[in-house]
Structure 1
């Protein structure tokens, strides 16, 4: 349940920041696996393995919840990089 809550809070945080929409959509398209519609949860989202790897490399421990503030910071960094 906490992953669902985290995903919803990230979605809402990005939704409230129109300046990050294009960057967020670009990242979603890059991170979405091919044939995503053929595998549960049937949503265009990165794989659980990828999310676990990113959480481990960012926070240094397994099981840490991905925070919306960190995702927003990452998206701002990507936007500034371009």
Structure 2
């Protein structure tokens, strides 16, 4: 994920504090092993997993996720955690 996408997503999430706990839980669940040893020092998913998810969603393994899509996914995760 590019720095620009991470920045745009961070700004969007700053306006949605209800999603902060979800972000922390999902980052913990999806972070690549040893993420703290690699630049950027952010708990991003493994590149293979991210490519697979991009391929299944957008039809292109190299495409970055839309910020709106990530927010919808996080809302979905929050609802699933609630047992809705």
CA apart distance, 1:46: 1.4
CA apart distance, 1:3: 2.1
Q: Which moved more, 1:51-60 or 1:16-25?
A: 51-60
- Cα distance in 2 between the residues matched to 1:62 and 1:45: 16
CA apart distance, 1:26: 0.4
Q: Which moved more, 1:44-53 or 1:72-81?
A: 44-53
User: Residue 36 in 1 paired to residue 45 in 2?
Assistant: no
Note the residue ranges of structure 2 that are not aligned, 5 or more in a row.
none
CA apart distance, 1:81: 1.1
**Distance change >3 Å, CA 11–CA 77, structure 1 → 2:** same
Q: Which has the higher contact order (CA 8 A, sep 6+)?
A: 1
CA RMSD across the alignment: 1.8
Q: Output the TM-score relative to the length of structure 1.
A: 0.81
